[in-house]
């Protein structure tokens, strides 16, 4: 029926999606959402045992999944990784750059070059060169694709003592716009998502401290911390045909924190 065309589809059947850092937290929920929507999901982690465990978990639920241990800061391996995925499944369609670390929270005067490189090699440089490898593959395929970059509310606001992480995530936000502009000709949509305080391993220390948690909650309009599924639903939208005319944008998923 004609009216059926008016209903956006969140179906990812036939799509192959790479989700980095997908063995726990937000990445795991994104991979789960993609798999439930019909995608074949390639999940990555630096730990082989974690990849194997998640692959078995997904396959036990009837999902198509491949776990690949890879470190996104191993820049020389990224081209081959994407090529191998495309060869195995015939194509690759979606990349979610979720792998990241929180970095060392310290005053700028205490930051060392080693601390800077540790965070930026994963949160920014790894994202950059994996996206480059993905875009080259999609260009060759001629199929179009989607890239969703994980930014952060820390890349929008300017809290003290998160200069290294905040700088990386601010760069991700701007880089997303540049990628979207350059790769639109290849029908690659590139967008970013900026989570606020989501219940993950990276935020558990803040949430466990009742005083700190109270201070943070006062800055969040919805007065609650986010769940990983609050983020995965937005990422799923950006990976599907429902968002086919959206590119180069940032969507904060922060309960209203960045408007305060």
| Four-CA torsion 101, 106, 109, 110, nearest 10 degrees | -80
Among 218, 229, 240, 61, smallest CA distance to 145 is for 240
161 is catalytic: no
- DSSP H helices, 121-255, are 127-141, 163-183, 204-208, 210-217, 228-239
Contacts of 130 (CB under 8 A, 6+ apart): 20, 72, 78, 81, 82, 95, 97
**Catalytic member of 165, 186, 197, 245:** 165
Per the DSSP assignment, residues forming a β-bridge with 194 are 252
Q: Which residues have a catalytic role annotated?
A: 165
């Amino acid at each position: 029926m004609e009216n059926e065309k008016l209903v956006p589809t969140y179906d990812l059947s036939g799509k192959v999606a790479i989700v980095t850092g997908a063995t726990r937290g937000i990445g795991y929920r994104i991979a789960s959402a993609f798999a439930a929507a019909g995608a074949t999901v390639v999940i990555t982690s630096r730990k082989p045992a974690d990849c194997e465990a998640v692959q078995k978990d997904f396959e036990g639920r009837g999902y198509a999944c491949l776990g690949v241990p890879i470190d996104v800061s191993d820049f020389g391996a990224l081209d081959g990784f994407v090529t191998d995925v495309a060869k195995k499944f015939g194509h690759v369609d979606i990349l979610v750059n979720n792998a990241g670390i929180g970095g060392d929270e310290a005053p700028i005067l205490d930051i060392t070059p080693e601390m800077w490189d540790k965070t930026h090699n994963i949160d920014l440089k790894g994202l950059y060169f994996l996206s480059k490898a993905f875009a080259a593959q999609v260009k060759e395929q001629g199929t179009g694709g989607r890239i969703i970059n994980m930014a952060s509310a820390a890349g929008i606001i300017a809290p003290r003592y998160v200069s290294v992480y905040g700088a990386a995530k601010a760069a991700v936000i701007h880089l997303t716009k540049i990628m979207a502009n350059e790769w639109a000709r290849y029908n690659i949509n590139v967008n970013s998502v900026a989570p606020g305080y989501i219940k993950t391993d990276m935020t558990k220390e803040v949430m466990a401290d009742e005083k700190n948690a109270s201070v943070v909650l006062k800055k969040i309009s919805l007065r609650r911390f986010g769940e990983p599924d609050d983020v995965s639903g937005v990422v799923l939208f950006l990976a599907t045909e429902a968002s086919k005319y959206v590119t180069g944008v940032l969507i904060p998923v922060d309960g209203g924190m960045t408007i305060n």
